[in-house]
Structure 1
Amino acid sequence: MKKIFYSNGKLLITGEYVVLDGAIALALPTKMGQNLVVENGSDKKIVWKSYDFDGSIWFDDTILFSDIVNKKSFENNAVKTTLIEILHESYKLSPVFINESDGYIVSTNLTFPKFWGLGTSSTLINNIASWLQIDAFALLRNAFGGSGYDIACAQNNSAILYQLANEKPLVKTISFNPVFKENIYFVYLNKKQSSKTAIANYRSKQGDIAKVIPTINEITEVLINTTDLQEFTKQIEKHEVLMSEILEMQTVKQSLFPDFDGIIKSLGAWGGDFVMVISENNPIDYFATKGYDVVVSYDEIIL
């Protein structure tokens, strides 16, 4: 019997990094995501295929149940090793899917290019958790770490406020539909950023984060309530300056687009994936001249 699961992608608008330390973050699920199709198999193994958005296969392999149980690693196959790690942590949370099965045939299908950084891993983890009826936040924590906001986006079809309180996720769905959304665009920076590496960098440089969190929370509160574009851009700029100081890094506008007539904000891990752009005029031509061809409107990408 075929089972199908689907999870939304994500964009983190406020609270990047500091969400790990209790800040309230605004995050938006995307119209693009990933599904997981599971059928019965045999021979105590999983035959696994992963498809990119264009139908091309980017991972095709067989994983033995014994590899999952023993958490076997493969030096020359990082994707397979990571997948086994996720499935091993799943097995620890629910051994029944290995102990009481003959095997599986599994396929995953992305509806966004996997290098975009919209949540290839988080959508997979949430889909696996849905399949095995285990806690997706626990699975993420055990397999990768991270705040879990991406899991919350995977599970919800509207904007969310996300916070970690005593390491437990607090998720509040909200209505977020800015009247000036035609001025908001998202630009892909042509490289995928490693969340693990970015978090490690943050941990090595952070000072007294507790002092900054109330300000970040205030910014988030204003952003979700204001109907004034100037106020919105003012708060976005304030957020960028604060995070620039914490991370000891230039803002993305300073480093890549100093001549841009508008506001640019990093989303999630600084230095890669998508940025949010606020502009009075359509910025497609500007970014094309800089070599950045993926520019999408708010309505094109946000669920």
Structure 2
Amino acid sequence: MTTSFYSNGKLLITGEYLVLDGALSLAVPTVYGQSLAVNPIPSRQLTWKSLDEKGKVWFQETYDLQANGTPFLSPLPTTRSLENDTDSSLKNNETVANTLQSILLEAKKLNPSFLEDENGYEITTSLNFPREWGLGTSSTLINNIAQWAKVDAFTLLWNSFSGSGYDIACAQHNSPITYQLKNSKPIAITVPFDPSFKNELYFVHLNKKQNSRDGIAAYKSKEIDLFTVIPKINSISKRIQTCTKRTQFEKLIHKHEAIISEILDIPPIQEQLFPDFKGAIKSLGAWGGDFILAAGNKNTAQYFRDKGYTTVIPYPKMVR
């Protein structure tokens, strides 16, 4: 019998970077996410297949669960059948295979009975958004594996990677949340964030993927007066939740961008790319890629398309 799990994607509206140091952030789960289907099979193997939003295989691997003294969860030699195989794609497949193996082994450390059945497993993961969108390919996977393995998803994340964990919280919630680390413990609280001007908000993809780990490393290298900065971000995160006018929302966005800009010593994205935009633009998550949030009007979508940014998603079609 097939067992299925599903996790939501994520977007961080406020608190980027500083959420790592305990700032209050506002985050939203997306209508996009990833599913994981588990089907038992007779052989003591774990076959893994990952599908993109078009149903095309972008990764596959077979692991040995137990055979003749070989290491547990060791990848088996396989004949690749991915389309357009090249040296780089095979190397990428190996990197993904090793990362997945480490996640599964961490899950087993947390729950030793995980994968101890006499049978094996056929696993299929399915995304409903392009991987380059940066909505949480890894976090949705980790949360799905955690559900399957019956372990704590935040612990699995922190044992496997790093990060604040807000993406895991979004994976588990179906409405906007505030998220904060208090004494290294994740605190996620659902909030009634449903701006009356949401039809004037748009998520725009910048046509490139940003590596969050690189962004975090750059942030960590800065000297920051957290005692001064964090209360400012906390205030903005609280005030944005109760905005009733777009103009007020835009002022808070600009204020937030100015704070992060000063910390990173990077001009806000609106200054860099869209100085003629009539409205307000905010980076989401790691600066420099993935999605931005634009507060504008009925002409906003066309403005970005005219500049070559074709992925423009209205707020109601992105946020749960």
Q: What is the TM-score of this pair, normalised by structure 2?
A: 0.91
Q: Provide the C-alpha distance between the structure 2 equivalents of 1:299 and 1:287, rounded to a whole number of angstroms.
A: 18
Question: Could you say which residue in structure 1 is the equivalent of 2:151?
Answer: 134
Q: Where do residues 77-226 of structure 1 align in structure 2 (5 Å cutoff)?
A: 77-226=94-243
Letter in 2 for 1:100: D
Letter in 2 for 1:20: L
- Secondary structure, counterpart of 2:194 in structure 1: coil
Residue 282 of structure 1: how far off its partner (Å): 2.7
Residue 69 of structure 1: how far off its partner (Å): 4.0
Going from structure 1 to structure 2, the CA distance change for 1:123 and 1:101 (only over 3 Å counts) comes to: farther
Question: Could you say which residue in structure 2 is the equivalent of 1:41?
Answer: 41
Structure 1 position 286 matched with structure 2 position 303: yes
Mean Cα displacement is larger for which, 224-233 or 163-172? 224-233
- Secondary structure, counterpart of 1:99 in structure 2: coil
Q: Give structure 1 stretches of 5+ with no counterpart.
A: none
Residue 71 of structure 1: how far off its partner (Å): 7.5
Q: Provide the C-alpha distance between the structure 1 equivalents of 2:189 and 2:162, rounded to a whole number of angstroms.
A: 21
Letter in 2 for 1:24: L
Query: Contact between 1:23 and 1:164, CA under 8 Å: does it hold in 2?
Result: yes
- Secondary structure, counterpart of 2:169 in structure 1: helix
Structure 1 position 53 matched with structure 2 position 53: yes
Question: Could you say which residue in structure 2 is the equivalent of 1:63?
Answer: 63
Letter in 2 for 1:87: L
Question: Could you say which residue in structure 2 is the equivalent of 1:26?
Answer: 26
- Secondary structure, counterpart of 1:153 in structure 2: helix
Question: Could you say which residue in structure 2 is the equivalent of 1:270?
Answer: 287
Query: Contact between 2:21 and 2:181, CA under 8 Å: does it hold in 1?
Result: yes
Q: Provide the C-alpha distance between the structure 1 equivalents of 2:166 and 2:223, rounded to a whole number of angstroms.
A: 20
Question: Could you say which residue in structure 1 is the equivalent of 2:269?
Answer: 252
User: Over the residues paired in the alignment, what is the CA RMSD in angstroms?
Assistant: 1.8
Could you give the per-residue CA deviations for residues 218-239 of structure 1, whole angstroms, max 9, x where no partner exists? Answer: 0011100121211111011000
- Secondary structure, counterpart of 2:209 in structure 1: coil
Going from structure 1 to structure 2, the CA distance change for 1:69 and 1:246 (only over 3 Å counts) comes to: farther
Mean Cα displacement is larger for which, 277-286 or 182-191? 277-286
Q: Provide the C-alpha distance between the structure 1 equivalents of 2:183 and 2:118, rounded to a whole number of angstroms.
A: 36
Query: Contact between 2:202 and 2:301, CA under 8 Å: does it hold in 1?
Result: no
Residue 68 of structure 1: how far off its partner (Å): 7.4
Residue 100 of structure 1: how far off its partner (Å): 3.1
Could you give the per-residue CA deviations for residues 12-35 of structure 1, whole angstroms, max 9, x where no partner exists? Answer: 000000000000000000011010
Q: Provide the C-alpha distance between the structure 2 equivalents of 1:174 and 1:180, rounded to a whole number of angstroms.
A: 17
Q: What is the TM-score of this pair, normalised by structure 1?
A: 0.96
Q: Give structure 2 stretches of 5+ with no counterpart.
A: 78-89
Q: Provide the C-alpha distance between the structure 1 equivalents of 2:216 and 2:247, rounded to a whole number of angstroms.
A: 31
Query: Contact between 1:68 and 1:87, CA under 8 Å: does it hold in 2?
Result: no
Residue 9 of structure 1: how far off its partner (Å): 0.5
Q: Provide the C-alpha distance between the structure 1 equivalents of 2:299 and 2:74, rounded to a whole number of angstroms.
A: 49
Query: Contact between 2:64 and 2:73, CA under 8 Å: does it hold in 1?
Result: no
Query: Contact between 1:32 and 1:112, CA under 8 Å: does it hold in 2?
Result: yes
Q: Provide the C-alpha distance between the structure 2 equivalents of 1:42 and 1:168, rounded to a whole number of angstroms.
A: 40
Q: Larger Cα Rg: Structure 1 or Structure 2?
A: 2
Going from structure 1 to structure 2, the CA distance change for 1:270 and 1:68 (only over 3 Å counts) comes to: farther
Q: Provide the C-alpha distance between the structure 1 equivalents of 2:137 and 2:43, rounded to a whole number of angstroms.
A: 28
Going from structure 1 to structure 2, the CA distance change for 1:139 and 1:68 (only over 3 Å counts) comes to: farther
Query: Contact between 2:63 and 2:74, CA under 8 Å: does it hold in 1?
Result: no
Letter in 2 for 1:33: G
In the comparison of the two structures, how many residue pairs are matched?
Answer: 303
Q: Provide the C-alpha distance between the structure 1 equivalents of 2:296 and 2:231, rounded to a whole number of angstroms.
A: 28
Query: Contact between 1:71 and 1:85, CA under 8 Å: does it hold in 2?
Result: no
Question: Could you say which residue in structure 2 is the equivalent of 1:235?
Answer: 252
Going from structure 1 to structure 2, the CA distance change for 1:206 and 1:110 (only over 3 Å counts) comes to: farther
Q: Provide the C-alpha distance between the structure 1 equivalents of 2:71 and 2:241, rounded to a whole number of angstroms.
A: 43
Mean Cα displacement is larger for which, 35-44 or 161-170? 35-44
Letter in 2 for 1:55: G
Percent sequence identity over aligned pairs: 51
